[in-house]
């Protein structure tokens, strides 16, 4: 599996090296536990519009056979989680879409008397239709671009005193594309990189309430556009009751967009624009009853459009809920609303579609047959529309999954 070509920022190597040194030291001075947990699954899906196309719809039965392996090792202060997975995906009516997907990753954390630090990383090899929420799927024909996505995210928190703390976090994402078959799959996808960082100061006002201020920065580098966002936010975290928690941040931000525009005779010129806007993230966790959990999240931020051609302002609302009908049977509902808008006067997406709207709705039933075996049955509805073109698309799917958790191997070291 090739490594994406994006260059990692220097501070990610510094934080990663420090955390690995901490883990090595912890292994020498503390006893720890090592757990190895394998899982296998078989998912069968019937989708009446697998590519979420507005025309030339393709309905097919899809089989996904997956194997996952999780390893967990750590001490009282330091923990390292490793995971790897592979899946064989077959489209019975469209063999050209057949693929095998892989992923590997880690999550390293360390806690001290007054600090916490962590580093997460992953490498995912999948295709353009692997994620049903990708807004670019279905454009320009039923394409199945091979994607390589690399993520690295360090974080650090320090307790200044009994009531005040500072938190620093960052994230780097790079995505490369390559076509499975150039003859069958035409693609305008292009590599892109994204950098995110934030610095927050928080003060505990009472046992249930924290508030503070923060600064955020986002930089998106695509094939035709460079977009940067700097914002200042106010932050609130409130545990209203044992069953209700609210958190959020909101503030103004300045976005600068530099776009490369083609000119005659194969030339190009750059157009730049600065815009002032508002950006936010908010979440609500609510337990209406001991058997029911719900989570609502809303956000507005800058991110790359799926094909890597440009950046967009994404407005997102997501709602998830889980209700235990009995000790082994549960009902789950996931709903997502997405609105991608142009940044400044630039156009959204890889073509002049204007605002792009997507809706994702999935109710499901899960039955824990035994401690090791679980079954689930779900219905999935996807909808996508483009402001400036008559190309709305709808997809409906029935999904049946069987999961098997093999015995966990545990050892001390």
199 or 24: which leads in pLDDT:
199
* Nearest in space to 295 (alpha carbons), one of 358, 243, 347, 349: 243
Which pLDDT does position 350 carry in this prediction? 46
Q: To 5 degrees, how large is the angle CA 304–CA 389–CA 394? A: 80
Looking at residues 148-153, what average pLDDT do you find?
Answer: 95
Average pLDDT estimate for 334-357: 72
Mean pLDDT rounded to a whole number for the chain: 85
- pLDDT reading at 40 higher than 90: yes
- Residues in a beta bridge with 35: 72, 410
Stretch 168-189: mean pLDDT: 70
* 295 Cβ contact partners less than 8 Å away, ≥ 6 residues apart: 283, 284, 285, 286, 319, 320, 321
Of 138-142, 309-313, 347-351, which gets the smallest average pLDDT? 347-351
Cα separation of the two ends of the chain = 32
Which pLDDT tens digit goes with each residue over 264-294? 666 667 778 888 989 999 999 999 999 999 9
Contact 281, 299 (CB under 8 A): yes
- DSSP conformation letters of 183-227: TT-------EEEEEEEEEEEEEEETTEEEEEEEEEEEEE-SSEEE
| Mean per-residue pLDDT, 351-371 | 87
Confidence of residue 188 (pLDDT cuts 50, 70, 90): low
More confident residue, 158 or 140: 158
Q: What letters, b where the CB count within 10 A reaches 16 and e where it falls short, cover 259-268?
A: beeeeeeeee
- Give the model's pLDDT for residue 386: 81
**pLDDT, greater one: 276 or 140:** 276
Would you place residue 11 in the very low, low, confident or very high pLDDT band (cuts 50, 70, 90)? very low
On whether the CB atoms of residues 157 and 165 are closer than 8 A, the answer is yes
Q: Assess whether pLDDT exceeds 90 at residue 10.
A: no
Q: What is the C-alpha to C-alpha distance for residues 310 and 225, in angstroms, rounded to an integer?
A: 6
Average pLDDT rounded to a whole number, residues 309-323 = 90
pLDDT at site 179 = 63
Q: Provide the b/e sequence for 331-346 (b: ≥16 CB within 10 Å).
A: ebebbbbbbbbbbbeb
Domains and CATH numbers, the chain: 10-412 (2.40.160)
């Amino acid at each position: 599996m090739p490594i994406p070509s994006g260059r990692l920022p220097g501070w990610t190597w510094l934080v990663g090296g420090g955390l690995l040194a901490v883990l090595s030291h912890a292994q020498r001075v503390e006893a720890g536990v090592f757990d190895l947990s394998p899982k296998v699954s078989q998912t069968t899906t019937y989708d009446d519009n697998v590519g979420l196309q507005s025309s030339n719809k393709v309905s097919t039965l899809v089989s996904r056979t997956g194997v996952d392996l999780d390893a967990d090792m750590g001490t009282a202060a330091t923990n390292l989680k490793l995971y790897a997975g592979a899946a064989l995906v077959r489209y019975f009516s469209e063999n050209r879409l057949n693929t095998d997907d892989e992923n590997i990753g880690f999550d390293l954390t360390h806690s001290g008397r007054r600090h916490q630090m962590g580093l997460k990383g992953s490498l995912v090899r999948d295709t353009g239709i692997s994620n049903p929420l990708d807004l670019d799927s279905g454009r320009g024909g039923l394409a199945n671009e091979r994607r390589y996505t690399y993520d690295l995210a360090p974080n650090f928190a320090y307790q200044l005193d009994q009531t005040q703390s500072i938190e620093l976090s960052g994230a780097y994402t790079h995505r490369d594309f390559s076509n499975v078959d150039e003859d069958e799959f035409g693609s305008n996808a292009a590599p892109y990189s994204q950098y995110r960082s934030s610095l927050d100061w928080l003060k505990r006002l009472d046992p249930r309430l924290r508030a503070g201020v923060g600064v955020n920065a986002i930089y998106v580098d695509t094939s035709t556009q460079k977009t940067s966002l700097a914002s200042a936010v106010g932050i609130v975290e409130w545990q209203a009751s044992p069953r209700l928690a609210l958190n959020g941040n909101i503030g103004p931000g300045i976005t600068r967009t530099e776009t490369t525009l083609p000119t005659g005779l194969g030339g190009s010129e750059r157009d730049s624009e600065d815009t002032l806007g508002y950006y936010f993230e908010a979440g609500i966790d609510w337990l209406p009853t001991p058997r029911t959990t719900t989570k609502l999240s809303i956000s507005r931020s800058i991110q790359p459009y799926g094909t890597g051609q440009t950046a967009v302002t994404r407005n997102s609302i997501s709602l998830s809920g889980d209700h235990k009908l009995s000790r082994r049977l549960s009902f789950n509902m996931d709903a997502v609303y997405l609105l991608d808008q142009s940044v400044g006067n630039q156009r959204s997406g890889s073509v002049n579609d204007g605002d792009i709207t997507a809706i994702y709705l999935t109710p499901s039933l899960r039955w824990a047959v035994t401690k090791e075996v679980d079954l689930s049955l779900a219905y999935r509805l996807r909808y996508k529309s483009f402001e400036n073109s008559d190309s709305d698309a709808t997809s409906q799917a029935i999904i049946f999954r069987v999961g098997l958790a093999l015995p966990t191997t545990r050892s001390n070291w």
